[in-house]
Chain A
Amino acid sequence: MTATMTQTIAFTPLATPATDEAARVMGICNSCRYCEGFCAVFPAMERRLAFTPSSIHFLANLCHNCGACYHSCQYAPPHEFALEVPKALGRVRQETYAQFATPPALGRLYQHQGLALVLASIAGFMIIMMAALVVNQGSLDKLLSAASTKDLFYEITPHNVLVGLFLPVFAWSVLTMARSGQKYWRSLSNMAAEQPHFSAEARQTFADVATLRYLDGGGDGCTSESDQPTKRRRIFHQLIFWGFMLCFAATSLATVYHYLLDWPAPYPMLSMPKLLGTVGGVMMVIGCTAALVQRPKRHSALKVPEQHTMDVGFVVVLLLIAASGLVSMVLRTTAAMPLLHLFHLATVLSFFLLMPYSKFTHGLYRGLALWWHNREQRNPSRLKLSDG
């Protein structure tokens, strides 16, 4: 009985100084509404008169931090209302990532010690894979020898070792994130009952995510550095997002080749897995590098200093994965290949292991928030506001 009770009781986010400040900000925004046309945050806000921690965690994850509302705000500092909408919502998102993490303690630990966890897990996975090599071969000689890839690839990391490592790590990240997503969805759906329109919502949400619809300041681009809109950030993010998807597709396709077509790796340069992975990797390297270069130039109103390490750390890990993958491919016939190969695998494993606590989850919560928003917008507002 108790177990089923806890299963069905919704997770409610805590009221904190960050949610209090966001509620104050949204309260003022709700009386103004000039930013209504910029993104999803404001139409969602207008359906409410009071802002609970749940609704604040909803609105915060709709925000893409494009900056349009800040630069357009008649109440931004030095006004005494001192509204900084992107920053207020950014601080709440940081709490979303920790509070909805599974388990939350690991979410909090990652936020304090993210870099240490990343480095330790990369080193740990390299040690595990080297240990596996020693156990299988009795020595580490292979690590420093150059040979044709075909032989060396599975000599260093036998297929069963790879599966033995990746399967539990991947299962862990999928299950914990599914649980986090479930908690977040419950927090959303507990705000108020809304009639679902499943296929319309799904189509709209998929389009919103795939095109990064709201990362554009209402049409002309993000105003990240100044009030001058540019499309740069959306382009960088698309390179990373779709580059990642191509790499993921490459791995998935290779798995199909391996198990269904009985065609083990490595694959020739012009094979689909190689092509998808190479193009995806190059896109990620360009996107991540550009994002890292652009980031320090971002306007201070769009920065949450406490979130900096988590954001930069995430992009750096993506860059390491993509770059080490590409480099180990280019240097596959040299003596550098074995260690590069291990490093690449270790970064991928670390990425998946820590995925449920990393900035990766912004996609999960934002996707769900957009989905809920697309459901709400298909239901009439409960308010009968008029200025007449």
Chain B
Amino acid sequence: MSPAAKLPAARVLEEFLFRQAELLDGRNWDEWIDLFADAGVYWMPLKEEQRDAENYPSIFYEDKALMAARVGRLRDGHAWGQQPPTRTVHLIGNVRLDGAESRNGEILVRSNFTVAEFRRDVLRHHAGTYTHHLRSAGKSFRIAMQRVDLINCDGIHEYNLQVYI
């Protein structure tokens, strides 16, 4: 029986998505990075339905080394752009498994998110779609790819995205 025919329960996957959001909101970035597979990537395309991250610009395109660099800066104490720091709250819903397929043993989960982000008196709002490519790892998963499609990806960005969405 192929792994595709034996998808984990929807609830387990949902919990995993909620957990990754909770780690971000709690600024537990090392644990969050550990959710990724060794060659895992966090990708936020610049364009709707972008397919190519190697030959066209993206907003984020980070492997674990780049994630560690970002997190190192965020925690440094001399990251002036984090004085005051950014706070976030993620809300994840509309989790969809109906398109879930196994590709190299990966499980595809799509969901919608809204993220409220607050820094220095300014509250702003992000919204979009997550596409998680997950690999089973014991009782949990590892993220091979977390694709984050903001609905305003190619719009004007009023503030830097210093933390992960």
Partners in one complex: no
Binding site for A on B (CB under 8 A): none
Binding site for B on A (CB under 8 A): none
